């Protein structure tokens, strides 16, 4: 059933072209939504590297998203001449560094204690944003300046689409390479058994902190794109619920799967958007659909697809 | 496996494309021969779920239902569309874009929450979509497409301080405030006003958002021997403060609750120790007032309200009142109107008598419907008026008629 290499490349090219010309046929809201989906897919990808591949439960990724978003907003406001890809890299780097630093004390923890520590991290970040109002604007929020490269301004959702989608594609490809390489295999070894991984020579401390740093880097870059797209930041945006949403995305899509991260982000954000019009019933239906997903697809959508494929074979 | 991935990725993209295909345009956005479409993003879940559901389901919806039952405005029924943002700014932006781009609303009516509304302002202004009477305390004045609702927090603080000094003759005034922008929005303007009156805060204490223990602050403020103490808090710590003051037997200082605390829910939270507290009320008592306009509000909410909990409250009163003001604008804009001419019609409103708050006037430079309030005292768990409507004009207290 393998497709030949040529056809595979052609198929991906076709998908890429469809994606890139899509905005010409869509309304502004749909373009905005696609960009938001891509940003969440990026976060979900970063989280999956940490949770799905390395097996560390992280419940505070809204915190990294916030760091990326605020770094981008503050840097863009103060250094307008800086091209936005540099700003995004900086946002990712700072978030990654904080992820690395957070990873060090967390080395001593296991399982749900890691979840507790990361949860607390998310809360602390949103409290810092609130209290450090001279820098972040606190409760009043922060109006994000337009992203720029030289004289070109990404001043509409249409233009931003062409910033957000390429970044997402590039980072997805990088993630794909990463998990297939030595680092990815080390991550998976850690997830399956820390003792076994150590006996085959995987440095536990090194790879756990690397996983935290990479995951935070992805989320930080996503945060930067988030800031440019939403154009206004306030601490209310980065709540515990958002962190939980991210976990739900990878659980629905499929733990330890790049495609699963993207599918999960699309489905969860899609469900939220479709149900937003149901008002009071939204939370109930959202919860019920999550339970149904868990009962019928315990390994996520990608897990279910793999099972189906094996059945047919 | 590869084929599977390829097919599902491709399918995903096509699915998304089909789901969100764009629709075409109208002569005037949101207005047809027999209907006008308005809407908003609001809190139907999350921390502001009570204000959100009451404002929309019993406020906006009841008055709009009442108007539609009478045939609408100039032969047009008012249609509404709402989306839940759970008080998350990014969801508010997504919902607002959906309302404007996909549903094609004429205007955004009474969205809620400082962060959530703030996130949509730039987009709405750029696209010249009217943002009418959002529920937020920090409005940015001087924007053509935004009409604001209630008295801004800084103005509330100035009003209360001036009244305490000029009318009550108080000299030693202190403040307990939440240590964030909301708290500073009361503390700093109050301090400026006190300075003008030759005074300063006799004591100022703060607490961090979410604090559970305020005993130290209460003890310090009590020691300062104050005539009055402003309490700038959200309902749970506000109630904690009152309970702690009661516990420590602090009775010789008048406590004055800040704007959003002057609310029936908060009084219930404090468990009966709120007696004698003063506050600035922006609305007549929704439960007990016998003003004809408020009586009518209760009747219409009872008949047309869509929420199960129809207990009158300040949020449904807000929604009801601003739906009424929105309709007043429609009446004045006439049969054929655009967003621009509707704004001009609203700006033409002068001394609009409404029986609830002092007459409303707008102009090209003034888009704030209310800049006033009246002092109340909690007596037997009810806010009783202890002053008439007041406002500040160039630093001087001016009485207003309702």
Domain boundaries, chain A: 28-238
Q: Which pLDDT value is given to residue A1?
A: 47
List of chain A residues whose C-beta atoms are within 8 Å of the C-beta of residue B138: 140
Q: What is the pLDDT of residues A11-27, one digit of tens each?
A: 888 988 988 888 988 88
User: What are the Cα distances from residue B261, in Å, to A188, A254, B236, B258, B374?
Assistant: 53, 46, 10, 5, 14
Q: Is residue A15 within 8 angstroms of chain B, CB to CB? A: yes
| Interstrand relation of B203-207 and B173-178 (parallel, antiparallel or unpaired) | parallel
State residue A289's pLDDT score: 82
Q: A144 — contact with chain B (CB < 8 Å)?
A: no
pLDDT at B181: 76
CB A43 within 8 A of CB A218: yes
User: What value does the mean pLDDT take over residues A22-48?
Assistant: 93
CA-wise closest residue to B290 among B372, B355, B353: B355
Picking from A293-297, B136-140, B355-359, B368-372, which range would have the lowest pLDDT averaged per residue?
B136-140
**Is A134 an interface residue toward B (CB < 8 Å)?**
no
Nearest Cβ partner for A138 among B113, B123, B180: B180
Q: How far B180 CA sits from the closest chain A CA (Å)?
A: 7
Q: Do B16 and A37 touch (CB under 8 A)?
A: yes
B94: closest CA of chain A, how far (Å): 7
Give the per-residue pLDDT at B11.
54
Q: What is the pLDDT of residues B190-217, one digit of tens each?
A: 999 999 999 999 999 999 877 889 999 9
Q: How far is residue A286's CA from residue A295's CA, in Å, rounded to a whole number?
A: 15
Q: Supply the pLDDT for residue A287.
A: 83
How many beta carbons lie within 10 A of that of residue A77, not counting itself?
Answer: 12
Model confidence pLDDT, tens digit, residues B112-125 = 987 889 889 989 99
B262: left (phi over 0), alpha (psi -120 to 50) or beta: beta
Higher pLDDT, B271 or A123: A123
The whole-number pLDDT of residue B235 equals 79
Confidence of residue B25 (pLDDT cuts 50, 70, 90): very low
First to last CA, chain A: 10
- When pLDDT is averaged across residues B330-356 and rounded to a whole number, the result is 95
Cβ neighbours of B98 in A, within 8 Å: 29, 273, 276
Mean pLDDT over the full length of chain A: 91
List % helix, strand, coil for chain B (3-state, nearest 5): 40, 20, 40
Q: How confident is the model at residue A116 (pLDDT cuts 50, 70, 90)?
A: very high
Which residue is closest to B210 within chain A, CA to CA?
A: A127
Residues of chain B in contact with residue A36, where contact means CB-CB under 8 angstroms, are: 90, 94
pLDDT at B180: 78
pLDDT tens digits, residue range A256-282?
999 999 999 999 888 888 888 787 777
Interface test with A, best of B14, B15, B16, B48 (most A CBs within 10 A): B16
Q: Is the pLDDT score of B233 beyond 90?
A: no
Q: Which domains does chain B have, with CATH numbers?
A: 35-151+288-370 (3.40.50.2300), 153-281+374-400 (3.40.50.2300)
Residue B368 in this model has a pLDDT that exceeds 60: yes
Q: How many CB pairs under 8 A join A and B?
A: 173
- Does the pLDDT at position B24 exceed 90? no
Minimal CA separation from B79 to chain A, in Å:
14
Q: Convert chain A into a string of H (helix), E (strand) and C (coil).
A: CCCCHHHHHHHHHHHHHHHHHHHHHECHHHHHHHHHHHHHHHHHHHHHHHHHHCCCCCCCHHHHHHHHHHHHHHHHHHCCCCCHHHHHHHHHHHHHHHHHHHHHHHCCCCCHHHHHHHHHHHHHHHHHHHHCHHHHCHHHCEECCCEEECCEEECCHHHHHHHHHHHHHHHHHHHHHHHHCHHHHHHHHHHHCHHHHHHCCCCHHHHHHHHHHHHHHHHHHHHHHHHHHHCEECHHHCCHHHHHHHHHHHHHHCCCCHHHHHHHHHHHHHHHHHHHHHHHHHHHHHHHHHHHHHHHCCCHHHHHHHHHHHHHC
> What pLDDT score was predicted for residue B382?
87
- Where do we find the tokens 């000094």? B165
Spell out which residues of chain A touch residue B86, defining contact as CB-CB under 8 Å: 241
Instruction: Provide the pairing of β-strand B146-147 with B131-132.
Output: parallel
Q: Is residue B377 scored above 60 in pLDDT?
A: yes
Q: Given an 8 Å threshold on Cβ–Cβ distance, is A130 in contact with B115?
A: no
Model confidence at B72: pLDDT above 90: yes
Of A22, A30, A234, the CB nearest to B115: A234
Which pLDDT does position B129 carry in this prediction?
A: 96
Residue contact A232–B118, C-beta within 8 A: yes
Angle, vertex CA A239, rays to CA A50 and CA B38, nearest 5: 125
Q: Show which of residues 252-281 on chain A sit within 8 Å of chain B, judged by CB atoms.
A: 259, 262-263, 266, 270, 272-273, 275-280
CA gap A244, A60 in Å, rounded: 8
3-state secondary structure of B315: helix
Q: Which residue's entry shows tokens 């405030």? A: B177
Nearest to A237 among B1, B115, B180 (CB): B115
Q: If DSSP codes are grouped into helix, strand and coil, which group holds residue B398?
A: strand
pLDDT (0 to 100) of residue B385: 93
pLDDT at B362 over 80: yes
Q: CB-based contact (8 Å) between A143 and chain B?
A: yes
Report whether pLDDT(B172) > 60: yes
* Residues 222-241 of chain A whose Cβ lies under 8 A from any Cβ of chain B: 226, 230-237, 239, 241
Of B100, B122, B182, the CB nearest to A232: B122
Average pLDDT value for residue range B303-332: 94
Q: How far is C-alpha B258 from the chain's CA centre?
A: 14
- Average pLDDT of the residues in B270-278: 83
Percent of chain B with pLDDT over 90: 68
Q: Quick check: B20 and A33 CB within 8 A?
A: yes
- Residues A275-290 have a mean pLDDT of 80
- pTM score, whole prediction: 0.86
ipTM, 2 decimals? 0.87
Q: Report the residue of chain A nearest B48, measured CA to CA.
A: A236
| Residues A234 and B181: beta-carbon distance below 8 Å | no
Question: Is it the case that residue B156 has pLDDT exceeding 80?
Answer: yes
The token pair at B127 is: 């696209």
- pLDDT higher than threshold 60 for residue B19: no
Residue B100, helix vs strand vs coil: helix
The β-bridge partners of B50 are none
Reply yes or no on whether the pLDDT at A41 is more than 60: yes
Comparison of pLDDT for A297 and A167, the residue scoring more: A167
Q: Has residue B5 got a pLDDT over 80?
A: no
User: What is the band of B328 on the pLDDT scale with cuts at 50, 70, 90?
Assistant: very high
> How does residue B238 score in pLDDT terms, banded at 50, 70 and 90?
confident
Q: Do B180 and A8 touch (CB under 8 A)?
A: no
Choose the most confident range, by mean pLDDT, from A2-11, A187-196, B34-43.
B34-43
State residue B273's pLDDT score: 81
């Amino acid at each position: 059933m393998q497709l030949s290499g040529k056809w595979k490349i052609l198929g991906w090219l076709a998908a890429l072209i469809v994606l890139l010309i899509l905005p010409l046929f869509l309304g502004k809201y749909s373009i905005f939504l696609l960009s938001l989906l891509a940003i969440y897919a990026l976060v979900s990808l970063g989280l999956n590297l940490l949770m799905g591949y390395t097996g560390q439960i992280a419940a505070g990724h809204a915190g990294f998203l916030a760091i990326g978003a605020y770094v981008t907003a503050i840097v863009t406001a103060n250094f307008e001449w800086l091209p936005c890809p540099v700003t995004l890299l900086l946002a990712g780097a700072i978030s990654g560094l904080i992820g690395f630093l957070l990873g060090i004390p967390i080395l001593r923890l296991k399982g749900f204690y890691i979840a507790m520590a990361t949860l607390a991290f998310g809360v602390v970040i949103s409290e810092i944003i609130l209290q450090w109002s001279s820098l972040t604007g606190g409760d009043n929020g922060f109006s994000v300046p337009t992203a720029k490269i030289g004289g070109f301004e990404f001043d509409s959702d249409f233009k931003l689409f062409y910033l957000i989608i390429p970044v997402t594609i590039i980072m997805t490809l990088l993630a794909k390479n990463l998990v297939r390489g030595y680092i990815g295999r080390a991550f998976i070894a850690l997830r399956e058994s820390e003792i076994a991984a150590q006996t085959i020579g995987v440095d536990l401390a090194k790879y756990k902190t690397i996983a935290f740093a990479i995951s935070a880097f992805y989320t930080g870059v996503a945060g930067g794109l988030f800031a440019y797209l939403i154009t206004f930041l306030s601490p209310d945006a980065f709540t515990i619920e958002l962190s939980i949403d991210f976990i739900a995305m990878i659980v629905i899509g499929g733990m330890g799967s790049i495609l699963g991260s993207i599918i999960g982000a699309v489905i969860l954000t899609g469900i939220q958007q479709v149900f937003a019009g149901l008002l009071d019933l939204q939370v109930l239906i959202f919860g019920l659909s999550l339970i149904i997903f868990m009962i019928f697809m315990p390994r996520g959508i990608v897990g279910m697809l793999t099972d189906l494929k094996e059945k047919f074979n | 496996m590869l084929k599977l991935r390829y097919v599902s990725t491709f399918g995903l993209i096509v699915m998304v494309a089909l789901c969100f295909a764009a629709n075409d345009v109208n002569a005037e956005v949101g207005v047809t021969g027999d209907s006008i479409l308005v809407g908003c993003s609001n809190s139907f879940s999350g921390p502001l779920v009570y204000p959100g559901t009451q404002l929309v389901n019993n406020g906006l919806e009841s008055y709009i239902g009442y108007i539609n039952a009478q045939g609408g405005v100039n032969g047009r029924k008012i249609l509404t569309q709402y989306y839940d943002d759970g008080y998350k700014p990014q969801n508010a932006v997504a919902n607002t874009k959906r309302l404007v781009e996909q549903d094609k609303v004429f205007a955004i009516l009474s969205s809620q929450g400082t962060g959530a509304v703030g996130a949509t302002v730039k987009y709405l202004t750029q696209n010249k979509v009217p943002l009418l009477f959002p529920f937020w305390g920090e409005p940015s004045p001087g924007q053509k497409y935004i009409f604001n609702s209630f008295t801004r927090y800084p103005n509330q603080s100035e009003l209360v301080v001036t009244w305490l000094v000029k009318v009550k003759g108080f000299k030693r005034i202190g403040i307990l405030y939440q240590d964030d922008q909301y708290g500073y929005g009361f503390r700093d303007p109050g301090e400026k006003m006190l300075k003008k009156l030759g005074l300063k805060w006799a004591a100022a204490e703060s607490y961090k958002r979410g604090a559970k223990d305020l005993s130290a602050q209460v003890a310090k403020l009590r020691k300062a021997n104050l005539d009055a103490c402003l309490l700038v808090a959200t309902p749970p710590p506000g109630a904690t403060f009152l309970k702690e003051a009661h516990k420590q037997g602090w009775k010789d200082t008048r406590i004055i609750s800040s704007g959003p605390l002057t609310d029936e829910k908060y009084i219930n939270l404090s468990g009966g120790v709120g007696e004698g507290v003063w506050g600035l009320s922006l609305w007549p008592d929704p439960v007990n007032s016998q003003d004809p306009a408020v009586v009518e509000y209760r009747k219409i909410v009872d008949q047309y309200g869509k929420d199960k909990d129809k207990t009158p409250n300040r949020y449904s009163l807000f929604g009801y009142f601003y739906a009424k003001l929105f309709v007043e604008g429609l009446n004045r804009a006439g049969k054929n109107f655009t967003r621009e001419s509707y704004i001009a019609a609203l700006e033409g409103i002068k001394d609009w008598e409404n029986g609830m708050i002092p007459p409303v006037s707008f102009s090209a430079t003034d888009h704030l419907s209310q800049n006033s309030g009246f002092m109340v005292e909690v007596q037997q768990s009810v806010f009783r008026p202890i002053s008439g409507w007041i406002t500040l004009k160039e630093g001087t207290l001016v009485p207003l008629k309702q």
